[in-house]
A = this chain, B = another copy of it.
Amino acid sequence: MKAMIGIVVVAAVVAVSARAEPAFPDADVSDPVKLGWMQGTPPPPEKRIAFGDYSFFTFPQWRWSFSHWRELMPTVGVSRGTGPVSELPRAERSDIDTVTFMPIGGAKPMTWAASLAANYTDGIVVLHKGRIVYERYFGALKPEGEHISFSVSKSFVGTLAAMLIAEGRLDPAKTVAAYIPELKDSGFGDATVRHVMDMTTGLDFSETYGDPDSTFAGYVAAIGAGPRAAGYAGPNGDYAYLATVKKAGNHGEGFTYRTINTDVLGWIVSRVGGKPFTEQLSERIWAPMGAEADGYFQVDPVGTPFAGGGFNMRLRDLARFGELMRLGGRMGGRQIIPEAAIADIARGARKEDFAGAGYATLPGWSYRSQWWISHNAHGAYTARGIHGQAIYVDPKAEMVIARFASHPMAGNVNFDPTSLPAYQALGEHLMR
């Protein structure tokens, strides 16, 4: 199985100190524009990237694909509504590129500027006190273009669920089956909404790829995001797949990262809200915050938006959402997200539940309502997607970072060492 798409994968945890340098061309050499991917009308055959042959989900081709997701598959829009764009004031600073930090497990310091190339950054925006202090685009991404955010999508779905909880419309103690009777006989049936939100379900599903016999490969085939064998007779679409997932172990016994939890949560939000979660996202967050442009989700063969990893948007709109979180849900004189919902996220979950999952780069962290909580001195929390997608909210430094990237490796463990300390150093720098 050559490739699969839009699926958030946590790479096997490796000892950071023993991490070998990846054998990939660097960010400059793999620049998709310089390489001529999809350049020209039409591009020459050897420079084309397509969905059908899965060339779009190989490196370095995905350095183009991640900024052109909608050109490869059907999508559903997340409308910006009909109002004005909320301005992001600018106060750009020239002293950021030279901010220096020590990578996790590293032997020598690195500059902020060097970290961007090291992480195959496609775009990065830093807000400080609500103003753009830094903004850069590389490769195939432009300010007016959208980029796949992979599992950063989860944090949007989790926030919508947290809003419904804060409003008393969704009960986190109730079972999944109470909201989605279709899942009664699945492994999700007796899990609570909270188990799903915090990924403490016990399920027969392993978030690994590369093995065509894995549960994961079956999931990808079902949602139409990867190859189906000839005569495929399995579930067609995400919801049909979720009903086939079996229980393994017990719910509530610790954090295990599985994208299918988010897909169930998206289903619950859609059912409780009475319309697809994508429409709720538009009406409740994207439009009220004054997004610059519509975002969009990839959809499965029956039109279901991929809650676990299919959201694409402009970088500045991603930053606007981070800023909305930092501000406790209040923007433009309007309480868009209940403050209680954000406070609950920022407080995090039980660190003990998280510790057992063995994330070497995230000691003392927890996972709450589809967000990753650092519990550090700045109270930082983040949304994270494979290949380098991120929102980083640092409340104490009054800083929000939004980043898109197309790193050759999927798991955050590969680029946390040159990202998390860089964010911390920048926050400290901006506080000075």
Cβ of A46 within 8 Å of any chain B Cβ, yes or no, is no
Chain B minimum-CB-distance residue to A267: B41
Q: Which residues of B contact A42 (CB under 8 A)?
A: 237, 239, 302-304
Q: Which of B52, B74, B301 contacts A73 (CB 8 A)?
A: B74
Cβ of A270 within 8 Å of any chain B Cβ, yes or no, is yes
Cβ of A35 within 8 Å of any chain B Cβ, yes or no, is no
Given contacts A42-B302, A302-B48, A303-B50, contact A70 B74 (CB under 8 A): yes
Given contacts A42-B304, A48-B303, contact A76 B70 (CB under 8 A): yes
Q: Which residues of B contact A85 (CB under 8 A)?
A: 83-85
Besides A52-B301, A71-B76, 18 other CB < 8 A contacts?
A41-B239, A41-B270, A41-B271, A41-B304, A42-B237, A42-B239, A42-B303, A43-B302, A50-B302, A50-B303, A70-B74, A70-B77, A70-B296, A71-B75, A77-B145, A82-B144, A84-B84, A293-B294
Cβ of A172 within 8 Å of any chain B Cβ, yes or no, is no
Complex: A79 Cα to B144 Cα, angstroms: 6
Q: Which of B70, B74, B276 contacts A72 (CB 8 A)?
A: B74
Cβ of A421 within 8 Å of any chain B Cβ, yes or no, is no
Q: Which of B74, B292, B302 contacts A74 (CB 8 A)?
A: B74
> Which of A50, A77, A146, A276 has the most chain B CB within a 10 Å cutoff?
A77
Complex: A50 Cα to B82 Cα, angstroms: 28
Shortest distance between the CB of A202 and any CB in chain B (Å):
25
Cβ of A299 within 8 Å of any chain B Cβ, yes or no, is yes
Interface string of A78-118 (1 = CB under 8 A from B): 01111111000000000000000000000000000000000
Chain B minimum-CB-distance residue to A77: B70
Chain B minimum-CB-distance residue to A268: B41
Chain B minimum-CB-distance residue to A76: B71
Q: Which residues of B contact A301 (CB under 8 A)?
A: 50, 52
Cβ of A51 within 8 Å of any chain B Cβ, yes or no, is yes
Cβ of A212 within 8 Å of any chain B Cβ, yes or no, is no
Complex: A77 Cα to B147 Cα, angstroms: 12
Complex: A84 Cα to B83 Cα, angstroms: 10
Interface string of A300-314 (1 = CB under 8 A from B): 011110000000000
Q: Which residues of B contact A262 (CB under 8 A)?
A: none
> Which of A73, A292, A299 has the most chain B CB within a 10 Å cutoff?
A292
Interface string of A228-271 (1 = CB under 8 A from B): 00000000010100000000000000000000000000010011
Q: Which residues of B contact A239 (CB under 8 A)?
A: 41-42
Chain B minimum-CB-distance residue to A293: B294
**The 9 nearest A-B residue pairs measured at CB:** A41-B270, A79-B144, A71-B76, A42-B239, A71-B74, A70-B75, A293-B294, A82-B144, A71-B303
